[in-house]
Structure 1
Amino acid sequence: MSRLPFYVIVGLLLVAGIATSVHRHLQFEIPWVPGEQRQVWEIEAVINFNAQNGPVQVDLALPSHQNGFRVLTENTASSGYGLAYKADELGRQAQWTTRDAAGSQQLYYSVQMLVSPDARPPIQTPPGLASTTPWESPYDSAASQLIDRAWARSANNATFTRELILDVNGERQGESARLLLTQETPSALIVRLLNQAGVQAREVSGLVLEDGRRRQSLSSWIQVFDESANQWSLFNPITGEQGQPDNLLLWETGGRAVLEVQGGTNSRVSFSMLTHHQPASAAVRNHYSEDTLLNFSIHSLPLEEQALFQTILLIPIGALVVVFLRVLVGIKTSGTFMPVLIALAFIQTTLPTGLIGFLLIVAVGLIIRNYLSYLNLLLVARVSAVIITVIAIISIFTVLAYRMGLSAGLTVTFFPMIILAWTIERMSILWEEEGPKQVLIQGGGSLLTAVLAYLAMNNPWVRHITFNFLGVQLILMALILLLGNYTGYRLLELRRFKPITDDEKPS
């Protein structure tokens, strides 16, 4: 029979497992190794204004995903106000409303921004060229002179913008620029001149991030649309430098007001900021907690269930260890996957405590089971009696450990009692049929397999990979299928050929 379908299935499992794992790493930025830290900025915006004894509506521009930053979480504090988040092609806004307010008012907005070098803003279609208000004389001549001089020294929109900024704010500032600056702020003037020259440009607001700073204000920056790259380029309106600094967070990018207050006066907004580091996996979970694809996974479950699945997803690792040791090495165990369950118990109890507890319970259980064999009970009744015996043994050991002040001994309750009862029953029957040697071989093999499975399952890297990359389960399935297809000699069986090799040696 052709083995091609088998190898096709194994190949598909490997490809699917690797592809989904790589996709989660690239798309959701989940790290490959545990303990990786990510920088997070906590920013608080405080809005102050005086209400005029009537209805109030406050609109505040909010930051969005952008180059180098992602929004993790956001919160507001606004007692007595209704709150709504709005989003359109110009960006995001928070809107507070109330029917009646008087006197000094304070509203709070806080956001956590994840520093993410791979973050990119959503694809934006450039708006149509903004209509410019014609200059009056003599400002029209000054504007034309600035545009013509910068245009002659440029090669594209980016260099034209740089030259224009230097002519308005740099050392080359002349009479024309000083005249126009009496009518507009530097950033607004540059944007107006760019639009007049047919270049799509807009003024945006950014926040320079410095740890521990309070009562900071936004600064103006200029975005120019680069048609060749089909994206917006950022320029410093003072120096003409192109590019977004690493510590600059663009707060408003739609070209509209950062803060609008209806029904109030003397409105202003100030910013405070702190930075800290947190585990990368936690930061990513916060960011994608509402993502539909991630919600399909276990990360959308409550923490209690997530902790349960973190242990369950380790079982295939233990199964792979058991299959490898039984199929390739040839180690005999008492029960096929009993060592995996014992390894899970070791994870809860720690290895030294688990080993001592396991040996004590099995040894005492075998002694009591040996007595039960003289009663000639039926199998079901005998196994039930062994189960009750195991429970009694665990209870006695737990109480004794507590009385002796050994807190580690309290964890022996994590051992699977039914599995221990069946292990004691199998070992007892094996002792009667094949002698104590086979009991030691299979019991020792079970314990060795359980220890190796524990070491593999309790590895921090393995725990991280299995929990955060579910595609690994497909890879484990493919490896187990390949091992299940092995029909050659086991390593321990090669001892049978030792006499042949000894005979072939020259005397």
Structure 2
Amino acid sequence: MSRLPFYLIVGFLLLAGIATSIHRHIQFEIPWVPGEQRQVWEIEAVITFNAQNGPVQVDLALPANQAGYRVLTENTASSGYGLSYSADELGRQAQWTIREAAGSQQLYYSVQMLVAPDARAPNQPPPGLATPTPWESPYETAADQLIERAWARSANNATFARELILDINGERQGENARLLLTQENPSALIVRLLNQAGVQAREVSGLMLEDARRRQSLSSWIQVFDEPGEQWAIFNPTTGERGRPENLLLWETGGRAVLEVEGGTNSQVSFSMLTHNQPASAAVRNHRSQDTLLNFSIHSLPLEEQALFQTILLIPIGALVVVLLRVFIGVKTSGTFMPVLIALAFIQTTLLTGLIGFLLIVAVGLVIRNYLSYLNLLLVARVSAVIITVIAIIAAFTVLAYRMGLSAGLTVTFFPMIILAWTIERMSILWEEEGPKEVLIQGGGSLLTAVLAYLAMNNPWIRHITFNFLGVQLILMAFILLLGNYTGYRLLELRRFKPITEDEKPS
């Protein structure tokens, strides 16, 4: 029979597991190792205004994922107000509404921004050119002269914007620029002249991030669509310098107002910010904005289920250890995967406490099971009696440990009682049929396998990888399938050939 389909399945599992794991690492910046720290900025926006004894509607532009930053979580505090979020091609907004409000009002919005060097802003198509508002004389002549002068000294849209900014705000500022600045603020004037010249541009608002700063305001920046590069170029409207500073967070990029208040006066928004580091795994748990099929992860579940699956996902690691020890080395165990369950109990109890508890429970259970064998009970009744006995032993050890002040002894309740009962039953039958030597061999093999499985499953790196990269389960499946195809000698079986090698030695 051809083995090609088998190897195709194994190859597919390996490629799928590796591909999905690499995708999660690159696309969602999930680290390969635990303990990696990420910088997070916590920013709070405070909106203040005076309500006019009537309905109020407040619209605030919100930051979005962008180059270098990604939104983790966001919260609001607005007692009595209705709240909704919206998003369109111009960006994101939060809207507060209330039927009636009077006097001084305060609304709060807070956001956590993850510093993510590999993050990219979503593609934004360039807006269509707005119909230029005609200038009145003599402003029209001044605007034409500014455009012509800057155009002559430029080579493309980006250099044209730079020259125009220097003519308006730089040392080259002339009478034409000063005249037009009486009609518009510098940033708005630059955008208007760029649009008038057929260059797609917009005014955006950004926040300079500085640790432990309070009552900060947004600053204006100019974005110009650079046709040769097919991308947006950002300029400082004061100096003409191109490029975004590392600590600049773009808050509003659609060219619309940051804050709009209907039904209130004297509105303003101020910002406070603080930075801190947190584990990368926590940042991943907080991140919800890009949950897709390829970002399929346990992190989308409630925390209680996450904790459960963090343990369940370790079972394939223990299964791989059992397969290696039984198929390649030939270690005998009492039950095929009983050591994996014992290893799970060791994770809860710690290794030393678990070993002592396991040995005590099994030893006492074997003594009692030996007495039950003289009663000639049916199998079901005998196993049921052993289960009740195991429960009684665990309860007695727990109470005794509590009375003696040994808190570690309380964790023996994590042992799987049914598995312990069957282990005692099988060891007792093995004792009667094969003798104590075989019991020691299988019991020792089970403990050795459980300890090795515990060491593998309790490794911080393995726990991190199995929990954050579900593709690892496919890789483990592929390896186990390959190991299951092995039909050679086990290492412990090679002892049978030792007499042959001794006979072949020269005398």
TM-score, length basis structure 1: 0.96
Select between 390-399 and 173-182 the one with higher mean Cα deviation: 173-182
Where do residues 299-318 of structure 1 align in structure 2 (5 Å cutoff)? 299-318=299-318
Where do residues 35-184 of structure 1 align in structure 2 (5 Å cutoff)? 35-184=35-184
Q: What corresponds to 1:448 in structure 2?
A: 448
Where do residues 351-500 of structure 1 align in structure 2 (5 Å cutoff)? 351-500=351-500
Aligned to 2:183, the other structure's residue is in SS state: coil
Aligned to 2:215, the other structure's residue is in SS state: coil
Q: What corresponds to 1:240 in structure 2?
A: 240
Deviations 1:452-491 (A, max 9, x none): 0000011111111111111111111111110000001111
Select between 325-334 and 44-53 the one with higher mean Cα deviation: 44-53
Identity of aligned residues (%): 89
Instruction: Verify: 1:278 aligned to 2:278, yes or no.
Output: yes
Select between 320-329 and 303-312 the one with higher mean Cα deviation: 303-312
Distance 2:426 2:217 in 1: 75
Distance 1:56 1:398 in 2: 63
Residues 288 and 294, structure 1, Cα contact 8 Å, conserved in 2: no
Q: What corresponds to 2:288 in structure 1?
A: 288
Residue identity opposite 2:353 in structure 1: T
Instruction: Verify: 1:255 aligned to 2:255, yes or no.
Output: yes
Aligned to 1:44, the other structure's residue is in SS state: strand
Residue identity opposite 1:381 in structure 2: A
The gaps in structure 2 that reach 5 residues or longer are none
Distance 1:104 1:396 in 2: 66
User: Could you tell me how far 1:141 is from its partner in structure 2?
Assistant: 3.0
Q: What corresponds to 1:344 in structure 2?
A: 344
User: Could you tell me how far 1:239 is from its partner in structure 2?
Assistant: 1.8
User: Could you tell me how far 1:284 is from its partner in structure 2?
Assistant: 2.1
Distance 1:200 1:164 in 2: 14
Select between 412-421 and 20-29 the one with higher mean Cα deviation: 20-29
Q: What corresponds to 1:28 in structure 2?
A: 28
Aligned to 1:370, the other structure's residue is in SS state: helix
Residues 398 and 412, structure 2, Cα contact 8 Å, conserved in 1: yes
Distance 1:173 1:505, change over 3 A: farther
Aligned to 1:144, the other structure's residue is in SS state: helix
Residue identity opposite 2:112 in structure 1: Q
Distance 1:55 1:388, change over 3 A: closer
Residues 294 and 300, structure 1, Cα contact 8 Å, conserved in 2: no
Deviations 1:287-346 (A, max 9, x none): 227835379643222211111111111111100000000000111111111100100110
Aligned to 2:391, the other structure's residue is in SS state: helix
Residues 13 and 475, structure 2, Cα contact 8 Å, conserved in 1: yes
Select between 171-180 and 71-80 the one with higher mean Cα deviation: 171-180
Backbone CA RMSD of aligned residues: 1.7
* Corresponding pairs, count: 507
TM-score, length basis structure 2: 0.96
Residue identity opposite 2:139 in structure 1: Y
Residues 327 and 483, structure 1, Cα contact 8 Å, conserved in 2: yes
Aligned to 1:132, the other structure's residue is in SS state: coil
Residues 10 and 481, structure 1, Cα contact 8 Å, conserved in 2: yes
Distance 1:214 1:349 in 2: 48
Distance 1:336 1:450 in 2: 11
Distance 1:295 1:176 in 2: 55
Distance 1:205 1:366 in 2: 76
Residues 24 and 295, structure 2, Cα contact 8 Å, conserved in 1: no
Aligned to 1:215, the other structure's residue is in SS state: strand
Select between 241-250 and 354-363 the one with higher mean Cα deviation: 241-250
User: Could you tell me how far 1:93 is from its partner in structure 2?
Assistant: 1.6
Residue identity opposite 1:328 in structure 2: F
Residue identity opposite 1:165 in structure 2: I
Distance 1:335 1:83 in 2: 58
Q: What corresponds to 1:10 in structure 2?
A: 10
Distance 1:290 1:122, change over 3 A: closer
Residues 466 and 473, structure 1, Cα contact 8 Å, conserved in 2: yes
Aligned to 1:133, the other structure's residue is in SS state: coil
Residues 289 and 295, structure 1, Cα contact 8 Å, conserved in 2: no
Distance 1:96 1:211, change over 3 A: same
Deviations 1:430-453 (A, max 9, x none): 122222111111111100000000
Instruction: Verify: 1:324 aligned to 2:324, yes or no.
Output: yes
Residues 77 and 109, structure 1, Cα contact 8 Å, conserved in 2: yes
Deviations 1:323-371 (A, max 9, x none): 0000001111111111001001100100000001111111111222222
Residue identity opposite 2:252 in structure 1: E
Deviations 1:367-413 (A, max 9, x none): 22222222222222222222222112111111111111100001111
Residue identity opposite 1:475 in structure 2: I
Q: What corresponds to 1:194 in structure 2?
A: 194
Residues 342 and 416, structure 2, Cα contact 8 Å, conserved in 1: yes
